[in-house]
Amino acid sequence: MSEPKATTPTQGDTYKGWLFKWTNYIKGYQRRWFVLSNGLLSYYRTQAEMGHTCRGTINLATANIAVEDSCNFVISNGGAQTYHLKASSEVERQRWITALELAKAKAVRMQAESDDSGDECPSSSPPPSGQGGGARCSEVQSTLRTLGSKVEDLSTCNDLIAKHGSALQRSLSELEGLRLGGETGDKIRQVTERATLFRITSNAMINACRDFLALAQAHSKRWQKALQAEREQRVRLEETLEQLAKQHNHLERAFRGATVLPAPTANSATDSKGSAPGKGDASDEDEENEFFDAMEDAPEFITVPADPKYHRSGSNVSGISSEIGMDDQSLDDQSLVFNQESPQPQEMELVKKRRTRIPDKPNYSLNLWSIMKNCIGKELSKIPMPVNFNEPISMLQRLSEDLEYCELLDKAAKCQSSLEQLCYVAAFTVSSYSTTVHRTGKPFNPLLGETFELDRLRESGYRSLCEQVSHHPPAAAHHVISERGWTLRQEIALASKFRGKYLSIMPLGTIHCIFEKSNNHYSWKKVTTTVHNIIVGKLWIDQSGEIDVVNHKTGDRCHLKFAPYSYFSRDVARKVTGVVTDKEGKAHYILSGTWDEKMEFSRVMQSSKGGLGGIGENGTEGKQKTVYQTLRARELWKKTPLPESAETMYYFSSLALTLNEMEEGVAPTDSRLRPDQRLMEQGRWEEANAEKQRLEEKQRSVRREREREAARVASPAEDALIEDSDPSLKSTHQDNYKALWFERCEDPVTNEITHIYKGGYWEAKEQGNWDMCPDIF
């Protein structure tokens, strides 16, 4: 075991390092990471746990610190908590003891001063004209108090030095009292004199610091005047800047008023696009001359800063340089173009204001007897699950939440490079999981034939339609068409396995994204979702697995890896890494981040095989990791914060809050019209349970009638023929249901049997003709 290494105290009075902590008689002392900060001593198993899991904390203000031997010491707060700790050496132990004594003295002093802190505030507020001067005066006083606090720390150090010096002198006196040789006595007297000189020097240092504090207090008025002059100058500059901003805003409005009347043309957008980046050319060039590490090292590869030769100015590799400049610059340019082009149509027509709140979730306790009494005498498959386990949206609406960050596809549609476009598509696949991190509630299972439309044509330029096309197994088809140059379609069926402590949910099906301008066709699948602590404990969700996003036109590929959470791992929780390669297998971009926060990407300048694989246990050489030299990482996607009080609204995002909002003209099969789901959203859970049971029984009776009708039409020989030709059609044939808005056919790219939108829904909505829709509610 390597020797624990402690860090030196930082400016924030923080001390960190490794110590051995006594656990029990079986495991003995275990290596732990300790952090001393703000009068609190906390410890973790690893440094990676500092962000989320603290193993224990003790308040030094009420703690006793005792030294046992050269390396061991004990910290106790009176019996409730006791830490038996061991340092790697006597010097290391003394560093920790000194830091702990200082932190304890400061914690006791701050606790005593907190009771009298109100006395320091002025009894009346200063006049308005003197608020700035009062603030500066307060700042000066705060600086003086900080200096005084540091002097008190030095005084505490002096007390400790005096304490240890006295103990040293006593020990030396005892040695001197022994009848030792003349030479030994001289050595002891010499050491005693040096210890005395050291204590005198420390006292002189304390006195000098006190003189400095007095001098600072004497000159505080001069400092205050200087600060007041600086403040007045800053206020004048701020006022001037504010006037310039108002003039700029006025001119901008006048310009818009002159250009909004005629129809917007592509040239105006192009001109505005071309003029804006010109200002940032120099800054972008400077940024490209800086090279940084990628955010996280993936297990399969290592990223290092690229060689500085890869910059534009004076480079011999002009082809690579221009490509770097184009790709890196296009990121900022695209966001600028998107912001300039998209708001103009919104100025011409009003956008509907969406709701930002739903009724708070009731605090109903789950009564197991209320579930069990409904199960008496019923088959297991017919036991109704209460809405207590649900959230007030359906699976079709949950599927539509994948469009939370559709602007990533809007940016991808503007990309000139297919590899850069692939980065945005990969970020879109990761962003669809960001809404699930706190969502432990189960969506309502859609009824067969249930639909959900999401019309965001005015706000975001797209229309979305989902339909439940199969009930056994449950499967939903989804189609999205965007005015900004992309189409998304998917058919997702869910398979689940209960493994005792957790539930694994495996989405089956392929997602397709086609871009109109370039005809790039991408496809990918979803990873496994795991719900932990099903039986005991707090539910939490994890995403794990691998995704291959493939461009079927160019052969480009992005391999994403969702690392499963591990209690013993030092990696960042919910980590995602990826590599974007061309059809030849050459890496061009490295992606890194987390599926619940953000994703970044770095351009690869050079790659090589590293000799870091090591030797395996059987004597063979281990797998070598690939080393990538990358440019500075850039942000692809960042999660939008949840709305205020989201914890009382099922942790819904801003988009999810609007999904169940009533809208006019939707189909009678739309999820918004489902009564049990609406009652649950309104907090009427008892009525929702009764309505849910009625709908499920109605669906069973409709299915039985459909099966009887199919039995009169189809013969057993035909059934066997269908199953032999395509076993995947068995479940759908059992449902005997033909989707209304989707048709079952073979996918031309993946050769899978899937449901593809056949059209007609939005035309029927415009005509208000829903005669073909079944009565499912």
Per residue in 177-210, pLDDT (tens digit) is: 666 666 676 777 777 777 776 777 777 777 777 7
- The strand pair at 442-444 and 390-394 is best described as parallel
C-alpha dist (Å) from residue 48 to 20, 557, 591: 18, 31, 21
3-state DSSP of 45-89: CCHHHHHCCCCEEEEHHHCEEEECCCCEEEEECCCCCEEEEECCC
Conformation bin of residue 710: beta by default, left when phi > 0, alpha when psi is -120 to 50: alpha
Asked if pLDDT for residue 669 goes beyond 90, the answer is yes
- Average of pLDDT values for 37-45? 88
pLDDT at 572 over 70: yes
Q: Which of 148-152, 433-437, 746-750 has the lowest mean pLDDT?
A: 148-152
Predicted local confidence at residue 485, as pLDDT: 95
Statement: residue 649 has pLDDT above 90: yes
pLDDT at position 129 is 42
Q: Which of 19-33, 213-227, 488-502, 669-683 has the highest mean pLDDT?
A: 669-683
pLDDT at residue 546, as a whole number: 96
pLDDT number for residue 735: 58
* Diameter over CA atoms, the chain: 121
For residue range 741-768, list pLDDT tens digits in order: 999 999 988 889 999 999 999 999 999 9
With a CB cutoff of 8 Å and minimum separation 6, the contacts of 261 are none
pLDDT digits (tens, 9 = 90+) for 246-260: 888 778 777 766 544
686-710 mean pLDDT? 88
- pLDDT category of residue 102 using cuts at 50, 70 and 90: confident
In single-letter form, the type of residue at position 771 comes to: D
> CA-based angle 631:633:635, to the nearest 5?
145
Decide: helix, strand or coil at residue 188. Answer: helix
Length of the chain: 777
pLDDT digits (tens, 9 = 90+) for 463-478: 999 999 998 888 999 9
What per-residue confidence (pLDDT) applies to 324? 41
Q: Do 378 and 391 touch, CB atoms closer than 8 A? A: no
Residue 488 above 80 pLDDT?
yes
Residue 335 has pLDDT above 60, yes or no: no
Q: What is the pLDDT of residues 297-324, one digit of tens each?
A: 445 676 666 655 554 443 333 333 334 4
Asked if the model's pLDDT at residue 270 lies above 70, the reply is: no
Q: Is the pLDDT of residue 275 over 80?
A: no
Sequence-separated (6 or more) residues with CB below 8 Å from residue 156:
101, 102, 105
Amino acid at 721: L
d(CA 522, CA 488): 10
Cα dist from 308 to 288, 290, 323, 719, whole Å = 9, 8, 16, 68
